[in-house]
Amino acid sequence: MLMRRVGFLLALLCLAGGPVRALPTDPCLEPGSDCTLRELADLAGVRIGAATQPALIQGDPTYAEILPREFGSLTPENQMKWVALRPDRDTYRFGPADELVAFAEANGMRVRGHTLLWSDPIRIPDWVSAIDDPVELQGVLDEHIDTVGRRYAGRVDAWDVVNEPLEIFGPPVLRDNVYLDLLGPDYIAQAFHAARAADPGAVLFLNETQVTSRAKFDALYALVTDLLAQGVPIDAVGLQGHYLTGFNEPAPGFLQEMVQAFADLGLLVELTELDMPVTPLTPDRLEAQARSLGRVMSECLAVEACQGITFWGFTDRYTWIDSFLAPGLIPLPFDVDYQKKPAWFAAADALRARAVGEPALLGLAAILGLGCARRRA
Ligand code: XIL
C-alpha cells in the first residue's frame, strides 16, 4: 500500500514536470556542445547570473552582448545599496538601478535585488551611522525598505534583505554596527517583516559571506533557525562564495552539507556572489581554479533547493577583486578578452550534471523501478 502511494506521488511529480529535468538527448547536454551557461541553466531548472554595472553595459558592446546571452539573472553590483540609492536622508537616486532593471527586463533576465540592509559598518552611510536615537533609526530603516521594496515590487524577483549580519572572520557573532547598538538583534527580524510588507512576492534572502568554517556555519544556522522560530518571513539563504582558490574554500562535502541543512529547514539556497581568485603562485592555476569552481557549483547543485548561482561579474576584465585584493587574480569564468576559461567549462559541466541528474527522491524511484525518464520514454 505504502509503495503504491509512493509510486503514485512520483508519477504525479513526473507528470507535473517535477524535479526531473532535461533528458540526456538534448543537444546542449552533449559534452562539448557550444550552448551557453544560460541555456544549460534553463535545462537544469536553475538560474545562472552575474553582477553588473550600467557603465559596463553602456561602455563596452562586447560585454553588453555576452551578459544577457550567457546569464539569465542579473544583480546590480552596487546600484541598489544604500550609499548609491540614498546618499543623504532626503535624496533617493534611482536612475542607475532603474537602468539595470530595464536592461534585465528587455533581455528576459531575473533581477536579484542587492541589498536592503548591509550590516558591514563601513558600508552604512555616514548619515545613518550618525543617528543616535533608536526610534529615529528604526523609522529611517523601515521607510527605506518600504520605499525601495515598493518601487521594485514585481520587477525584482528576490531581495538580499540583510547582507552579512555576522562578523566576517572573527568570532561568529552578530556584527557590531549602529543597528545592533541601537535596536538590538531584532533589527534583522524587523527588516524581513518590512521587506515582506513592501514586496510580498519577492523571495527574501539572508545573504552571508565566508561561510567556510564549522563555527561560522553553526552561527548562521542558529541565526536562521531562530528567525524561523519567531515566524520571520525568510525564504532563502544566500552564500556569497568569494573563495580564494585552494585557500579558503569550504572543505570537500561541507558546502553540500550546509546547503542540505538549509534545505531541510524548508529554505531555498543560492550561491550569490561566486568568484574564485587564484594566485599566480598556484601551479596550473586555470585548471586548479576550474576544479575548485566546478566542485563548489556541483556541491550546491546536488541539492534540489539550490536554485541559482550568480558570479560576481563574469569577465576578468572587470572585477572588484583587482582593487579589493590585488590585480591579476583572474576570478571569473571569462578572461580579459572574453575567451571562455577552463572555469567556464567546469561551470557548464556542473549545470549539465544538474540537468540530467535525478535528485534523492527520484533516486528512490529508480530503486523502485519507477524512474520518470523511463515513464516518459
Ligand atoms: C562590492 C562591489 O563589487 C565593489 O564594487 C564595491 O566597491 C564594494 O562592494 N559582498 C557583497 C557585495 O555583498 O556587495 C560586495 O560588492 C562584495 C562583497
- Cα 273 to averaged position of ligand 1 atoms, centre (Å): 9
Backbone angles phi, psi at 201, to 5 degrees: -90, -10
- Tell me how far apart the alpha carbons of residues 5 and 2 are, in angstroms, rounded to a whole number: 5
Backbone angles phi, psi at 343, to 5 degrees: -60, -35
Supply the pLDDT for residue 327: 98
CA dihedral 166, 177, 171, 51 (to 10 degrees): 40
320 within ligand 1 shell (Cβ under 6 A): yes
- Tell me how far apart the alpha carbons of residues 41 and 69 are, in angstroms, rounded to a whole number: 12
Q: What is the band of 22 on the pLDDT scale with cuts at 50, 70, 90?
A: low
- Tell me: the pLDDT tens digits for 290-345? 999 999 999 999 999 999 999 999 999 999 999 999 999 999 999 999 999 999 99
164, 208, 249, 299: which one is catalytic?
A: 164
Supply the pLDDT for residue 21: 56
Is the CB of residue 142 less than 8 Å from the CB of residue 186?
A: no
Burial level of 39, CB count in 10 A (0-12/13-18/19+)? buried
Residue carrying C-alpha cell 540583510: 162
208, 273, 299, 304: which one is catalytic?
A: 273
Is the CB of residue 209 less than 8 Å from the CB of residue 168?
A: yes
- Cα 355 to averaged position of ligand 1 atoms, centre (Å): 31
Cis (ω within 30 of 0) for the bond into 115? yes
299 assigned to active site: no
- Tell me: the pLDDT tens digits for 63-75? 999 999 999 999 9
Supply the pLDDT for residue 32: 83
What are residue 74's DSSP bridge partners?
50, 111
Supply the pLDDT for residue 370: 35
Angle at alpha carbon of residue 291, lines to 285 and 296, rounded to 5°:
125
Q: What is the band of 49 on the pLDDT scale with cuts at 50, 70, 90?
A: very high
Supply the pLDDT for residue 169: 87
- Tell me: the pLDDT tens digits for 195-238? 999 999 999 999 999 999 999 999 999 999 999 999 999 999 99
77 assigned to active site: no
AA identity, residue 81? K
Strands 268-274 and 236-239: parallel
- Whose C-alpha lies nearest to ligand 1, atom 9? 78
pLDDT higher than threshold 70 for residue 375: no
pLDDT higher than threshold 80 for residue 12: no
Residue carrying C-alpha cell 520514454: 377
78 within ligand 1 shell (Cβ under 6 A): yes
- Tell me: the pLDDT tens digits for 146-173? 999 999 999 999 999 999 999 998 889 9
pLDDT higher than threshold 70 for residue 2: no
Beta-strand ranges (E) seen in the chain are 47-52, 73-76, 110-118, 158-163, 203-208, 236-239, 268-274, 306-311
58 three-class SS: helix
Q: Which domains does the chain have, with CATH numbers?
A: 37-367 (3.20.20.80)
Supply the pLDDT for residue 155: 98
Ramachandran area for residue 151 (φ above 0: left; ψ -120 to 50: alpha; else beta): alpha
- Tell me how far apart the alpha carbons of residues 159 and 241 are, in angstroms, rounded to a whole number: 17
- Whose C-alpha lies nearest to ligand 1, atom 3? 320
- Tell me how far apart the alpha carbons of residues 248 and 183 are, in angstroms, rounded to a whole number: 33
